[in-house]
Structure 1
Amino acid sequence: MNRRDAVQRIALLMGGAMIGSTAILTGCKSETGKPTEWTPEDIAYLDEIADTILPTTSTPGAKAAKVGQFMTVMVNDSYEEKDQKVFREGMEKLNEAANDKYDNDFIKLTPQQRTEFLTALDKEAKDYAKNAKEGSDPHYFRMMKELTLLGYFTSEIGSTQARRHVPVPGRFDGCIPYKKGDKAFT
């Protein structure tokens, strides 16, 4: 018996509880889709969506962290072709829904209209997720929101200004004083 067979059998005996067991048993067969071209207008549009989700407050917002550009890279480099299609079509659906509700493109809405619109869309995405069947496509707005949060909080701005950043912690100190409203550590 070779090592690969032994690992597969152990994984099967453990009931597949081993981390990454599907990758070990079947091999990694996931491929990303073909990279799509993104225009500067696409990136600006995604920046506006992201900045509505995480606006500028006492810290810079998602647009300052260039989350729109981050989204395009992640969609091209990490998403399968069907998910890329859901995301791209979702950009169009979002704009069409804004047009239907406000007779204007999303990018031309007031900040209050954008917030109201995306709040309703977030509720729609949550309802969709509750009722979705196994293997169904994700809701496009959930994808946008997740990428916004990931892009922002892994950016320099999100990590150092929206959170308390300790680049090189000295030692573990489990008794750090916390006051309500303090930022989280990174």
Structure 2
Amino acid sequence: MERRELLKMIAAATGMAFVGGEVWAAGLTTPATAGSKSSFSTSDIALLDEIAETILPKTSTPGAKDAGCGAQMAVQITDCYNATEQGWFVDGLKQLRARSQQDYKLDFMQLSKEQRHQLLVKLDAEAKARNAEIYASANDSTNSRKKSSANAGKSVADNTPHYFTLFKQLTLFVFFTSKVGATEVLRYSAIPGKYEGALPYKKGDRAWAT
């Protein structure tokens, strides 16, 4: 699977273009933040791990924690996102903790697997609604430049994506580009290799990582 193909699939799954996608598509590191000090504590990384595991839990195949997604997500955010985008992630963790307290009177780390699943399902629905709102606002702006000041005030403020979209996108990207995701969940064949124009396939076969 090509990097750009994966980015398109993630965008389709989350309803928004991959945040920082221009960096990932090129396979580059953002010079402004590369090597900068991490904004994530040990507890933040543990939280990222549990968020990722709730999104991609272990079943008959490995889950996000098996791929060490939390630690790798922290590295990717620190090294490959600009300061504004990093701020979205840091603020998103704060909002997630607050939402967990609001809905369950417990920290996210104290929730049961079922409670975590329920919370993230709610956040996913909210994120999709937010992304649809951003998309509609962008279309309105493109198709009609003549807006009254009153209508302009109703546009989506600065188009900041919902924080759960950020978590979900990066979880999917980190997992499916990890060794575990690429070789134990997807199917991996070393490149370059011999050319085979027709391969047997039956319904339910795993997708290819390469």
**How does the TM-score come out when normalised to structure 2?**
0.70
What residue identity is the alignment partner of 2:130? Y
Identity %: 42
Cα distance in 2 between the residues matched to 1:74 and 1:170: 30
Which residue among 140, 148, 159 is the counterpart of 2:182?
A: 159
CA-based RMSD of the aligned residues comes to: 2.0
Runs of 4+ in structure 1 deviating by more than 3 angstroms, as ranges, are 29-37
What residue identity is the alignment partner of 1:38? F
Higher RCO, 1 or 2 (CA under 8 Å, sep at least 6)? 2
Partner of 2:193: 170
- In the TM superposition, residue 88 of structure 1 has moved relative to its aligned partner by 0.4
Which residue among 160, 183, 186 is the counterpart of 2:206?
A: 183
**Cα deviations across residues 107-138 of structure 1 (Å, max 9, x unaligned)?**
11111111111011011111101102445112
Moved more, 107-116 or 126-135: 126-135
Q: How does 1:33-48 map to 2 (within 5 A)?
A: 35-48=37-50
Indicate yes or no: 2:150 matched with 1:149: no
Cα distance in 2 between the residues matched to 1:174 and 1:123: 41
Find the structure with the greater CA-based Rg: 1
Partner of 1:137: 160
Mind listing any 5+ residue stretches in structure 1 that lack a counterpart?
Answer: 1-19, 21-28
Cα distance in 2 between the residues matched to 1:175 and 1:116: 43
With over 3 angstroms needed to count, the CA separation of the structure-2 counterparts of 1:180 and 1:104, relative to structure 1, is same
SS in 1 for 2:130: helix
Cα distance in 2 between the residues matched to 1:119 and 1:174: 41
What residue identity is the alignment partner of 1:104? L
Cα distance in 1 between the residues matched to 2:129 and 2:197: 39
Partner of 1:92: 94
**Cα deviations across residues 67-110 of structure 1 (Å, max 9, x unaligned)?**
11111111111111111111101001011111111111111111
- In the TM superposition, residue 168 of structure 1 has moved relative to its aligned partner by 4.0
Larger fraction in helix: 2
- In the TM superposition, residue 170 of structure 1 has moved relative to its aligned partner by 3.2
The 8 Å contact of residues 125 and 142 in structure 1, kept in 2 or not, is answered as: yes
What residue identity is the alignment partner of 2:56? L
What residue identity is the alignment partner of 1:174? G
Moved more, 169-178 or 155-164: 169-178
The 8 Å contact of residues 47 and 62 in structure 1, kept in 2 or not, is answered as: yes
Partner of 2:56: 54
Partner of 2:13: none
Moved more, 33-42 or 149-158: 33-42
The 8 Å contact of residues 39 and 90 in structure 2, kept in 1 or not, is answered as: no
Q: How does 1:58-73 map to 2 (within 5 A)?
A: 58-73=60-75
